[in-house]
Structure 1
Amino acid sequence: MSSVTVFVDDAVRGNLPSVCAKTGAPARKVMRIDQDLTGSLGALWLLVFFGPPGWVLFAVLAASRRRQHLVVRVPYADEMIRRYHAARRLTFRVAAGAGALLVAAFVLPFLFSTFPQGLDLAAGLFVLSGGLVAVLVCSWRAQRLLVGVDLDASGRWVTLKHVHPDFAAACEAVDRGTPVARPIPR
C-alpha cells in the first residue's frame, strides 16, 4: 500500500481521479470518510486520580472540547463499498449479539433457582470479554477497508494513506498536469 498527498479542496470535493483508492480498479462512486481531527486529552487524564471531583471536572472538560472533523470523498469501486458496508453490519450484529448474551448471562440465574451461585458473574465476565474482543476485531477489519486521512499542519494538504499504488500514481499524474481520468461527478 502507498500514500499520496493531495490538495485539501480536491479531497473534500472529491476531485480525484476515478481510480479506486483501495483496489486500483476503475471507480464510479465516492466514499465519504469522516476523519476526527480532535487531539487526545493529554494530561487531563490525571484528573481521574483526584477522585469524584476530578472525574466530574474531567467529564465536563472532555464534553466541552471543540471537535474538528474533516470529511473527504475518495473514489471507491462498488465491490469495496459493498465489502465495507457488510463489515460494518457484521460489527453491529456482533455487538448486538454480545449484548444479548451478556444480558442473558446475568438474567438466567434469577430465572432458575438451580443455577449454581457465582457462575453468573463468571459467565458474564466471559461473555463480556469475548464480546468485546469480537467487536474490536470486526471493527478493525471494517476500518482496514478505509483509506487513512491525515491533514498537515498548514491545513492545505491531505495525505491519503493505505491506498493502492495505481491510485497514488494517478493522483500524482494529475498533480503534474497529465490527464489520467476525469473526477467522478457527484
Structure 2
Amino acid sequence: MPKWLSSRVRHALLIAIVVWISGCSAAPPENLPTPIEGYNHTSAAINRFTVNGGGGPNIGPHQGGGKQNCCVSLPTKWRPDLKVVIEWEKDPDPYASQYWPQPRYSDAWSKAAAEHETHYTHHRAVVELPPYDRVGAVVVHFFPCDQVKVIATLHAYGHPQYAIKEPLNMEEPKTCQNS
C-alpha cells in the first residue's frame, strides 16, 4: 500500500475487503420469496386466494396467468412432505350484476351486490407440493368441485415441461362427490 495512507485507512480498507470477500461466499438462503400465480379452470370467479397467507391475484372464469403477486416463502431445496395451505373465496355467479335492473352503484344496486356476496363460498385445502429443482413461481390451479393443484415451477402453463396439462375451459360436473 502507498506510504501516504495512514495505518487507520489501511486497516479500514483491509476490513472492507475482508467483509466484501466473505459476503461473496455466504451460504445460500434456506428460503426464498416466491411469486404467486393462479389459473382458474372453472366457471366461477376466484375473488381472492392465498398460499400460506401470501396473496394471489383474483382470477376470472377460465382465466389465469400473466399476473403474479408477491410472495410466499419456499425452501430453496424441496423436501418430502412439503405442504402449503391454500385458502380462496369463490363467486359462483360472477356475471350476475350485468342482469340487475338497478342503475350501477345506486343504493338499490349496492343492496343487490351485498345480497350477491352472501353466496360467495370460502374454501381451504392443505396440498402437498410436488418436487422441484429450482423455485420459480408457486402456481395454484383451481378445478371444478373445489379441487386445487399447486406446483413450484420455472415454466409457463402450456410449456411441454409444465406439470399440469388440464385445459382452462374444463367441463364441470353437475354434482360433485365432495359437496
| TM-score, length-scaled by structure 1 | 0.29
Structure with a larger share of its residues in helix: 1
Q: Which protein is bigger by CA-based radius of gyration?
A: 2
